[in-house]
Amino acid sequence: MPAVAVAAAVVMIHRNGDKANTQWRDPDGHEWEIQMEREDGTWRVVEVKDIQELLNRLKRREEKELSPPAEPAPVPSP
């Protein structure tokens, strides 16, 4: 996640004892919703809403960026 998104999430966090959640919309328009719990004094992420969708988007973007460029079509000779 971009540092700005992390900072925004921390500012918008809602705590209830040893549980917390935050949500925000990224520049691409995707709604992020994160659930956290404190265990032995350390906060950890326990759930990311729609994580499978996010992983699929990341996979598609990586495949697009890593795929070799398409070769141009041959120019027919006159």
What digits encode the pLDDT tens for the residues 29-62?
888 888 989 999 888 889 988 888 888 888 988 8
* pLDDT of res. 11: 67
- 77 lies in a domain? no
φ, ψ (nearest 5 deg) of residue 24: -165, 170
Domains identified in the chain, total number: 1
- 14 lies in a domain? yes
Residue 22 forms beta bridges with which residues?
A: 34
Nearest Cα neighbor of 12 from 34, 40, 29, 27 is 34
Which residue segment(s) compose the domain that 27 sits in? Answer: 3-57
- 36 lies in a domain? yes
- 62 lies in a domain? no
What digits encode the pLDDT tens for the residues 8-36?
666 677 888 899 998 878 777 888 888 98
